[in-house]
Amino acid sequence: MGSALLAPGMEVRRADGRQSSRLSWLDSKHSFSLDSGGRSGVIYPGLAQRMSAGTGILHSGKNDTYRSADRPPADPVHFVQVWVVPDEAGVTPGYEQLEIDAELLSGGLVTVASGMDRHRGASAIRIRNRHAALYAARLGPGQHVPLPEAPYLHLFVARGSVDLEGAAVLREGDAARFTATGGHRVRASGPAEILVWEMHATVTL
């Protein structure tokens, strides 16, 4: 990990500009280009789950209402999957999950996952990256939240649409990346859900 002097900036990325994978049972879009541990589980609205691949793991996911390639699933599934580079390699694979549905009703940013010292002991999933934290917010019409100030931010609109102060209207699937800035206000046009990554270092390969 490393950081340097940064020039303030922001880049909006629209949903239709992201890479996609489309199969008979899957319509997936990518912002960046069940398992051998004997564990299976069900992810439902309001649940966050962390899987650490660590030294290696095989896993798969499916919509439980999917039956065959010529029949669409009875209930479409909408979820967001994010990959985070850990501070160190070779850790033991593991899981952790957290229900955040009740906290999201507050309308503010809720800490979902973090590796930062300041979130240690908080009700959040621990990740093995001390420079990153993930927040979520479920906003009603007209509700707004300020974004954190950090060297790097990534805002993703999971549902609905929001007005990004001084920039643009972001719709479902759109994202904005911020460098050396923050504090922008995000206001919901209608019911909306957003995910915000706060990052304090880049990845050094």
Residue 2: inside a domain: no
DSSP 125-180: EE-S-TTEEEEEEEE-TT-EEEPPEEEEEEEEEEESEEEETTTEEEETT-EEEEEE
Residue 57: inside a domain: yes
Q: Between 45 and 88, whose confidence is greater?
A: 88
Residue 4: inside a domain: no
Q: How many domains does the chain have?
A: 1
In the predicted model, is pLDDT for residue 2 greater than 60?
Answer: no
Range in 70-84, 121-135, 191-205 the model is least confident about: 70-84
Residue 204: inside a domain: no
**What is the rounded distance in angstroms from the CA atom of residue 10 to the CA atom of residue 180?**
9
The pLDDT-based confidence of 178 (bands split at 50, 70, 90) is: very high
pLDDT at 69: 63
Single pTM value for the model: 0.76
Vertex 78: Cα angle to 137 and 85 (nearest 5): 70
pLDDT at 169: 94
Which of 81, 64, 79 has the alpha carbon at shortest distance from 25?
64
Q: Between 36 and 22, whose confidence is greater?
A: 22
In the predicted model, is pLDDT for residue 165 greater than 70?
Answer: yes
**What is the rounded distance in angstroms from the CA atom of residue 12 to the CA atom of residue 167?**
9
Sign of CA dihedral 163, 168, 169, 171: negative
**What is the rounded distance in angstroms from the CA atom of residue 53 to the CA atom of residue 50?**
10
Residue-wise pLDDT tens digits, 131-146? 999 999 999 999 999 9
Residue 39: inside a domain: yes
Residue 153: inside a domain: yes
DSSP 13-45: E-GGGSEEEE-SS-EEEES---BTTS------T
In the predicted model, is pLDDT for residue 196 greater than 60?
Answer: yes
Q: Tokens for 202?
A: 């880049």
pLDDT at 4: 56
In the predicted model, is pLDDT for residue 1 greater than 70?
Answer: no
The pLDDT-based confidence of 27 (bands split at 50, 70, 90) is: low
The pLDDT-based confidence of 24 (bands split at 50, 70, 90) is: low
pLDDT at 195: 95
Task: Tell me the CATH number at 190.
Answer: 2.60.120.10
CB 12 within 8 Å of CB 166: no
Residue 75: inside a domain: yes
187: containing domain = 9-199
Residue 116: inside a domain: yes
CB 20 within 8 Å of CB 14: no
